[in-house]
Amino acid sequence: MNTAATKEELERILDQALQEVTERTAGVRLRQGGQPLGEDLCTVHITFDKGFGTSLTLWADTSLLARMARNSFHEDAVTPEDVEEFSKEYLNVLCGRIAGAMFRATGVPAHFGTPVFYHGRHEPEGQEAQFILTYSDERREGAQLIHHVPAAHEAASGGTE
């Protein structure tokens, strides 16, 4: 079986993976909902460089990522560096789960690059959002997982301009 997943199937895979990985690694239950993100955000971005040619961006309230890091590290306090390291590893684990689920659904093996962390909201160049999944927790802290595809003008020109 070597077929493409539908947008709905991909959304389901990403949603299930995010909820399971977040609860298992950080003890936080995120549920889909329309809670707007706060002003103090972090971005973690990763590219699937083999298999799909897409990327994922996680925008999350810094307070949520700090709490997830504290829970994961079993610490009362974490540094900004701890939050960055946790966030990159979290996205790595999440993408591993997604790549496995996508392989089972499509037969296409995927490989992803190294996650990149940014303070604030970062938009990847040459990419456009295919869909955005929005989450919040019981403390009204939020996150968004964005699935990016190559921008239409980039794809049409072969990525060169």
- pLDDT given at position 56: 96
pLDDT at 93: 96
pTM flag (> 0.85): yes
- pLDDT tens-digit series, residues 116-134: 999 999 999 999 999 999 9
Residue 82 CA to residue 74 CA, distance in Å, equals: 12
| Rounded Cα gap, residues 64 and 44, in angstroms | 13
CA angle, 150 then 126 then 51, to 5°? 35
Longest dimension (CA), the chain: 50
Q: CB under 8 Å to 28, separation ≥6 — which residues?
A: 22, 64, 67, 68, 71, 137
Measured distance CA(17)–CA(147) in Å, rounded: 13
What is the model's pLDDT at position 143? Answer: 96
User: pLDDT tens-digit profile of 40-66?
Assistant: 999 999 998 776 778 999 999 999 999
Report pLDDT for 155.
47
Q: Which residues of the chain have pLDDT under 50?
A: 1-2, 155-161
pLDDT at 33: 85
Name residues whose C-beta falls within 8 Å of residue 4's C-beta, 6 or more positions apart in sequence.
Answer: 106
Residue 106, pLDDT score: 83
* DSSP type of residue 113: -
pLDDT for res 153: 58
